[in-house]
């Protein structure tokens, strides 16, 4: 099959030869004769093939590359099957599916397939299609998922669902097996969690914190723990698994803390030493009289775009300042940013500023990031969005 070609300006092909998957509009010499979402061939100023990507004419990122090659490709069903099979093989090699039944199968550029996220929850895969190009190939992706044993697929983002004629609206199923409800109970490192993939944030659960939650379990014995921005209580369940004497889950959402309580009960029964507070976490941290040995700060993304970075840094500094001021001497602070626009260096500078203002001695014990099922394409450092520090405060 012949694909329409996009030509780059002279000297603007360096990022592509270095395998960065984004082509910005300013690098384009000649646009292709193609529609939004079409697959296009990307060529240098002399017409030499560099690879293939999804065309987005109304975006600043005009092409998102999924293949870098100087050879003509046949991009058929077998090609997409291989993409998904390679991604599945990585997870199968490194995850214990007997103990963990929820994981990310496709991580956009991290799996060389920009514009698509697929999270697996037991027998259900929850898909996010974020560009028109992946919407256009959704049927091929469904067929590819079947080759790794996934038959039930729920489409999470409503905007994409409205554009796809074969979505079984209003319930969001992309497959005929729609007898499943909007929630499922899964295991993560042997612990159980009820995940509502219809109404929950993102795809229903923050899978990217799995390894960081397991680290908390290792250090929680005998501790009184505050899980701020707790959402559905992932860190709380792990803290109790590690032997915490008391755990408090705080989130501004009443529904979220109710689900956190349900997840604790699911694992430990109603007598577990766990309390929930539906409160603004900033106010709770500032006004709390409780004394904690471990404080977890896992807020939502404060910086959704570059313009929000100044306000975001102030927010990160404030919550870390109050945590440093109030954690017990010899205590730990687990602090995170999932804002892609806040890089690791900036996040550490913000945390440094909070520590200095608190006047406490603070040491870094661990530097944390996202787990292996959220791989970072080394040519696309923007994919490393999750930053975390475990800090010892004396």
Pairing state of beta strands 49-55 and 61-68?
antiparallel
Strand, helix or coil for residue 76:
coil
Nearest to 190 by CA among 101, 90, 95: 101
For residue 85, give the DSSP letter: H
Strand, helix or coil for residue 166:
coil
Q: What is the dihedral of CA 270, 274, 278, 283, to 10 degrees?
A: 170
Burial of 279 (0-12, 13-18, 19+ CB in 10 A): middle
Q: How far apart are CA 23 and CA 7, in angstroms?
A: 11
Nearest to 101 by CA among 216, 195, 173: 195
Q: How far apart are CA 127 and CA 338, in angstroms?
A: 20
Give DSSP secondary structure letters for 284-342. Answer: HHHH----EEEEEE----S-SSGGGHHHHHHHHHHHHHHHHHHEEEEEEEEEEE--TTS
Q: How far apart are CA 246 and CA 268, in angstroms?
A: 13
Strand, helix or coil for residue 206:
coil
Which residue out of 155, 281, 338, 342 is catalytically annotated? Answer: 338
Angle at 231 between CA 225 and CA 235, to 5 degrees: 35
φ/ψ of 23, rounded to 5, equals: -115, 120
φ/ψ of 355, rounded to 5, equals: -65, -45
Strand, helix or coil for residue 382:
helix
Q: How far apart are CA 29 and CA 176, in angstroms?
A: 44
Residue 281 annotated to the active site: no
Residues classed as catalytic: 338
């Amino acid at each position: 099959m012949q694909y329409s070609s996009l030509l780059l300006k002279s000297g603007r092909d360096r990022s592509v030869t270095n395998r960065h998957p984004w082509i910005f509009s300013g690098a384009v010499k000649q646009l292709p004769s193609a529609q939004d979402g079409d697959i296009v061939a990307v060529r240098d100023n002399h017409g030499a093939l560099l690879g293939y990507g999804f065309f987005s004419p109304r975006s600043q990122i005009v092409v998102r590359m999924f293949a870098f090659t100087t050879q003509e490709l046949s991009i058929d069903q077998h090609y997409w099957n291989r993409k998904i099979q390679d991604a599945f093989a990585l997870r199968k090699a490194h995850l214990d599916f007997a103990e963990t039944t929820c994981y990310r199968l496709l991580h956009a550029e991290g799996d060389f397939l920009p514009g698509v996220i697929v999270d697996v929850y037991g027998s259900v895969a929850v898909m996010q299609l974020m560009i028109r190009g992946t919407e256009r190939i959704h049927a091929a992706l469904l067929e590819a998922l079947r080759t790794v044993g996934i038959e039930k697929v729920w489409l999470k983002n409503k905007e994409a669902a409205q554009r796809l004629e074969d979505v079984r609206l209003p319930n969001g199923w992309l497959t005929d097996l729609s007898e499943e409800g909007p929630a499922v109970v899964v295991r993560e490192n042997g612990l159980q969690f009820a995940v509502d993939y219809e109404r929950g944030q993102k795809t229903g659960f923050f899978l990217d914190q799995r390894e960081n939650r397991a680290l908390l379990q290792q250090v929680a014995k005998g501790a009184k723990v505050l899980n701020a921005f707790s959402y559905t209580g992932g860190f709380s369940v792990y803290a109790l698994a590690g032997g915490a004497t008391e755990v408090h889950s705080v989130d501004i959402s009443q529904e979220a803390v109710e689900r956190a309580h349900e997840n604790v009960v699911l694992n430990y029964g109603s007598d577990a030493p766990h309390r929930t507070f539906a409160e603004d976490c900033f106010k709770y941290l500032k006004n709390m009289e409780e004394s904690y040995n471990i404080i977890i700060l896992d807020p939502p993304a404060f910086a959704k775009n570059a313009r929000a970075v100044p306000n975001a840094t102030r927010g990160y500094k404030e919550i870390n300042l109050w945590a440093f001021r109030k954690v017990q001497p010899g205590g730990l602070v687990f602090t995170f940013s999932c804002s892609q626009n806040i890089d690791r260096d900036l996040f550490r500078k913000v945390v440094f500023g909070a520590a200095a203002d608190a006047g406490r001695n603070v040491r870094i014990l661990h530097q944390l990031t996202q787990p292996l099922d959220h791989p970072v394409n080394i040519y696309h450092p923007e994919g490393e969005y999750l930053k975390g520090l475990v800090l010892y405060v004396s």
